[in-house]
Structures are given as C-alpha cells and as structure tokens.
C-alpha cells in the first residue's frame, strides 16, 4: 500500500493540480471580504490608482505609497500600485477580483516553489510537502487575504521567477558533476536551453527589477541567489570555491540592487529610508538593542511556524537591552549551535552530492535567515514582529522538515522490522494529515475573520488592548455605522496610547464638531497637528471650521499651509480662492484658481468648478 502511495507521487502535474485546488478551496472564503485598514489609504482614497494613465505611472515611479492621499511613508512600490490600478479599473472596490488576484498569486508562488525544488532536487515528495505547507500555513493569510499585503506575494513571485529562469540556463550543464553517480536522485529532466541562455538571464534580471518595484525586501535577492546556487546548482565540492562562483554569478543582481539602493537613498528618499522612527528611542538608536529584541521575536516566529495559534496583527514586543536577559542568551546560543551543526555536516559529508544533509541544511537555514534580514532590526523599521514577514522565510524552514519526512516515507531512516515500520509509518502519516488539516482549518478561520472587520479588530484587542492603530481603526468602523459612543471610546483609547499618531485626535475632533463643540474640535485638530505637522486632514477641518466661524484670517493661515502640503490637489486651491473671495481679494482669487487649473488633469469635477468661477469673474 505504501509503495502505491509513493508511486502516486511520481506524477508532478497531478501534484501541482492537487495543491492548487486545495489552496483555492481554503481561500475561497475570502472572495467577498471588503477592503479595509491600509486599503483605505493605498486604494480606496487614493485617486492615483483609480485610473491607468501615463501621469499616474509617473506618479507611482516618483512618489511614496501614501503620496496619493497627501501623506509620506518610507515605502516605494510602483508595480504593486499598477496591480491595484488594474483591479480598480476592472471592478472598482468590489472585492472578488481583488482577492482572486491575490489568491492566484499565492497559488502561483506555491507552484513555483514546487517546480523549482523539483527541478533542482529531483525529489517530488520533498518539493510537494514544502509547497503544500507553504500554501496552507495559516500565517500566510496575513499576506494573502489582506489586499495591502499583496507586495509580499509579488516580491516572492518575481524572485522565484528569477531563480527559475536562472536555473533553466544552468541546471543541465552541471548535472553530471553535481550529482555524480548518486542513486538517490531521479534522472535528469533532459533538454537544453543553451541557445536561449542570454534571454533567460536578461529575463531573470528583469524579474528582480520588478520584484524591487513591488516591495523593498527584494534587496536580499542576490544573497538568496547565492544560498540557492551553493545548495543546489554548484558542481564544486569546495564550499568557498562555490561561494566565490555564486558571488560572481550574482554580480548582475547585486548591480541592480545597488542601483536601487542609491536611488532610495537619494532621489527616492521620501522620509528616511534607513529609519522609520520620526522620534529617537532606545530601540531605534541602538543596533544591539534591536538584535537582542529580534532574538525574542525569532523564538516567537518558531512557535508560530510549528503551532500557529493566537494569530493577530499589531503585536507588541518587549524591547531587550542586554544579551544576558532571558530569552536573549539562549537564542544566541542556539544560533551558534546551528552554525556549529552546519560546520559539522560540511566536514562529515561529501558536499558535492546534492542530497547530503549539509546542502539541505545550508539551503533551509540560509533561505530562512536571509529572508528575515530586512525585518531583523538591522534597519529600524516601523514594527518589530508581523506574521506576514514569514511569508518568504518559511520555505527554508519547511524544506528541511520535508526532506526528513520524505526520507522517512522512503524507508531510508529506520532500521526497524518491516511490520513495525509499516505501522509506524501509518501513525506518522495520520498525525501528519491531522497536522495539515489543522493548518487548513486555521487558514479558513482566519479568512472568515478577515471578512468581519469589527470582529477582526476586537480579536486583536484581546491580545493588544492598548494598540493605537487598532483602537483608532475600530473607532472608524463604529463612526461610519453612526455608533458615536463606541467610536469615541476607542478613539480615546487610541489617543491615550502611542502618541505618534495624529488620527485619533483628529477623529475625536470630528465627533466634537458633529456635536457642535467647535472650541473642543479645534483643540483636537491642533493636537493632531502637534503630533504630525504634515497631517493635512486636520488643516482641512480647521479651514472649514474657521471659515464657518467667519474667522477668515485663521482660515487663510491654514489654507496656505494646506496648499504646501497638497500642491497637486485642485480642490485646495479652489477652496483657497473661495476664502480670498470672501475677503474680496480678487487678485488672490484669480491666482489660486489659475494655479488649481494647472493640476486638474485627474479631477475633471474640480476643473469644472474652477472654470465656472473664473468665468463669473470675467477671467
């Protein structure tokens, strides 16, 4: 019976279809989930993704991700925004196509994982188990079901595609040297791509460029490439010789990454590319503190990989300031032990055979930790721990597990009597099936929860009750439903938390203004500006409030600031013109209207208003 099961795994196309269908079923529950959270700023309120035009493309290529709503961020993802624009032009914000696109990208990534590992490793079962776990693991829902998380899907897709393209040009030329006479691998796949080599290499480099334009984490690709080449493609028995060869082959990728890095540090340095913290703190100012803290995060990641329960976004993490704090030092000892284990395997075995433990461990460990480098704290980013940061690294983690599971199923790791071995295999298969069903069930539950925004935020607050962003977002949902009491409660909780977010102060001002408390509203709007002087929503409200009060001097003061913050918004200039009209300053009225007219390409309604007022003024 077991031999029949093993034979079934000799059909890679059937395996690919199987995992694709399973994952499609698991994620089918998210197809009607509405867009929310960062989707509001990145998509719904961002007019630059509502149409596809050359002006919008230039905007994506020259601005940060929040520029479309008049804010700043460190993120630069023009290709991601192109996919958003394609979805928006197709269906607006109706969710089905948005989620279907992300789901299919996730499936494509899993199929690429399967294809690449099978191509270089010739072990269908190892490739299948790795791809299956990658696809069904519930941690992945944070990247797949959250539309703004699509950058994770795109960056991995194009990096895997770059590896696949490179592999197609190099695999056959070194098979004999690399595999030797080993009987543990399947026969070479055959075929040659030598005459297309340059085209494949060019396409591989282009894929890396698109990956960089999808998400910044693609800067690690040259290092992932080196790990992949040493583990799977190098025919050289010496590690250091293989390392040198991999570096030489990675030079085109390094060139792309370096050019990208220069651009991000100069003309595309929108806020502070190398530090996401506007205010200095213990964590942001010390690399050692960030690495000590990451040791604890790493322990949490391993727990989530093995037992993915209590999943949620916006995780609060304790900051560690010393190597000798628990659990910092045990993690560092574990990492040193892991390095020692790799050295031991290298010296013990012949590393020129693909199926040796050294190559398996080197790829798994190397891929996992290189994948985590961008979020390790080397660069102080805006959060310490997110589940979607494991989207790429987990491939390496589960590859090692899949390798040993496959060896067990093939009977090469046990010296038990045949009957006992068969029973043990049945028990292991049953336990493994239950484990996979648990993963699938958790993924389904997460997809359902992502479709209920209020329940979703309330679930996070069970773990992080003081989260400023979550309380503010939940308050927004209640506000939109007309439940001002609950909205105010969560806005107050948000304002009492991390005082680096202007939104809760602004939102409290909106509630006070709706109640007629103009003085209280003004104070809250001013508090929002104190937190973030570039928060233009507060200026808009202050302009409107002072204009209604008849205080045209204050209204003018704030509208002039607003013009500097939103120089591409014709409605700001139109409103400025109305204020100057009330002050009977016709020259300023005309000047603002003409300035607004120059930026109306994407806002025909504003253009009509401006032209109408100019006509009335005889201009």
For 183-220, give the secondary structure using H, E and C: CCCCCCCCCCCHHHHHHHHHHHHHHHHHHHHHCHHHHH
531-543: pLDDT as tens digits: 989 899 999 999 9
CB 408 within 8 A of CB 428: yes
Reported as type and span, the H/E element at residue 374 is none
Distance CA 226, CA 248 (A): 9
Q: In 10 A of CB 244, how many CB atoms?
A: 12
The CA distances from residue 397 to 218, 490, 507, in Å, are 19, 39, 43
pLDDT of residue 617: 83
Task: Report the candidate in 575, 537, 570, 569 with the shortest Cα–Cα distance to residue 556.
Answer: 575
Distance CA 247, CA 230 (A): 10
pLDDT of residue 171: 61
Question: How confident is the model over 552-564, as a mean pLDDT?
Answer: 93
Across the chain, mean pLDDT equals 88
Question: How confident is the model over 108-126, as a mean pLDDT?
Answer: 92
Least confident range from 115-119, 176-180, 285-289: namely: 176-180
pLDDT of residue 618: 81
Place of tokens 């005309």: 590
pLDDT of residue 271: 79
Question: Taking the model in full, what pTM does it have?
Answer: 0.89
Place of tokens 């009209």: 581
Looking at the chain, how many residues does it have?
A: 619
pLDDT of residue 10: 62
Q: H helices within 52-196, ranges in order? A: 54-62, 78-91, 95-121, 124-136, 141-144, 150-170, 175-179
DSSP state letter for 321: -
pLDDT at 73 over 70: yes
Task: Report the candidate in 96, 73, 226, 92 with the shortest Cα–Cα distance to residue 151.
Answer: 73
333-370: pLDDT as tens digits: 999 999 999 999 888 876 555 557 889 999 999 999 99
Angle at 193 between CA 192 and CA 197, to 5 degrees: 150
């Amino acid at each position: 019976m077991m031999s029949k099961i093993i034979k079934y795994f000799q059909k890679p196309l059937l395996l690919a279809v199987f995992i694709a269908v399973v994952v499609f079923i698991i994620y089918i529950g998210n197809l009607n989930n509405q867009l929310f959270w960062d989707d509001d700023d990145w998509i719904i309120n961002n007019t630059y993704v509502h149409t596809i035009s050359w002006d919008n493309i230039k905007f994506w290529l020259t601005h940060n991700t929040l520029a479309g709503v008049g804010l700043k961020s460190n993120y630069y993802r023009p290709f991601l925004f192109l996919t958003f624009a394609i979805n928006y032009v197709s269906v607006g914000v109706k969710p089905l196509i948005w989620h279907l696109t992300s789901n299919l990208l996730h499936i494509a990534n899993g199929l690429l994982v399967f294809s690449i590992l099978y191509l270089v490793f010739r072990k269908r079962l190892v490739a299948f188990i790795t791809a299956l776990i990658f696809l069904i693991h519930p941690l992945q829902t944070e990247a797949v079901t959250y539309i703004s998380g699509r950058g994770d899907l795109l960056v991995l897709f194009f990096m895997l595609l770059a590896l696949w393209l490179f592999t197609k040009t190099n695999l056959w030329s070194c098979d004999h040297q690399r595999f030797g006479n080993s009987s543990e691998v399947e026969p070479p796949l055959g075929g040659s791509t030598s005459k297309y080599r340059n085209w494949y290499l060019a396409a591989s480099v282009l894929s890396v460029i698109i990956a960089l334009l999808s998400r910044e984490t693609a800067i690690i690709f040259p290092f992932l490439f080196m790990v992949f080449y040493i583990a799977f493609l190098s025919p050289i028995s010496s590690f250091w010789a293989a390392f040198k060869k991999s570096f030489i082959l990675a030079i085109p990728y390094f060139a792309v990454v370096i050019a990208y890095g220069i651009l991000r540090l100069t003309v595309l340095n929108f806020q502070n590319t190398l530090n996401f913290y506007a205010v200095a703190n213990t964590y942001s100012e010390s690399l050692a503190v960030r690495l000590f803290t990451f040791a604890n995060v790493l322990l949490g990641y391993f727990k989530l990989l093995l037992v993915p329960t209590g999943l949620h976004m916006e995780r609060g993490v304790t900051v560690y300031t010393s190597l000798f704090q628990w659990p910092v030092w045990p993690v560092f000892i574990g990492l040193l032990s892991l390095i020692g284990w790799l050295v031991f395997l290298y010296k013990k075995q012949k590393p020129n055979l693909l199926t040796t433990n050294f190559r398996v461990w080197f790829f798994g460990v190397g891929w996992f930790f290189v994948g985590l480098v961008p979020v390790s704290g080397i660069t102080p980013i805006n959060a310490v721990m997110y589940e979607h940061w494991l989207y790429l690294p987990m491939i390496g983690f589960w590859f090692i597990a899949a390798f040993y599971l496959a060896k067990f199923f093939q009977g090469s790791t046990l010296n038990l009597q045949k009957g006992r071995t068969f029973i043990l295999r049945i028990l292991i298969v049953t336990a493994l099936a239950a484990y996979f069903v648990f993963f699938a069930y958790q993924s389904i539950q997460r997809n359902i929860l992502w479709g209920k925004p209020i329940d979703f935020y309330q679930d996070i607050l069970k773990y992080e009750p003081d989260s400023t962003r979550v309380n503010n977002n939940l308050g927004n949902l209640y506000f939109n439903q007309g439940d001002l009491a609950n909205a105010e409660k969560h806005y107050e909780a948000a304002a009492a938390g991390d005082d680096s977010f202007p939104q809760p102060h602004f939102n409290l001002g909106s509630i006070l203004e709706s109640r007629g408390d103009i003085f209280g509203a003004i104070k809250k709007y001013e508090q929002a500006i104190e937190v973030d002087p570039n928060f233009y929503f507060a200026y808009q409200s202050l302009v409107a409030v002072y204009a209604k009060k008849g205080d045209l001097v204050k209204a003018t003061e704030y509208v002039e600031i607003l013009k500097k913050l939103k120089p591409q918004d014709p409605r700001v200039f139109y409103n400025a013109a109305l204020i100057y009209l009330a002050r009977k300053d016709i020259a300023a009225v005309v000047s603002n209207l003409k300035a607004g007219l120059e930026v109306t390409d994407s806002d025909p309604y504003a253009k009509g208003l401006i032209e109408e007022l100019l006509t009335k003024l005889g201009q």
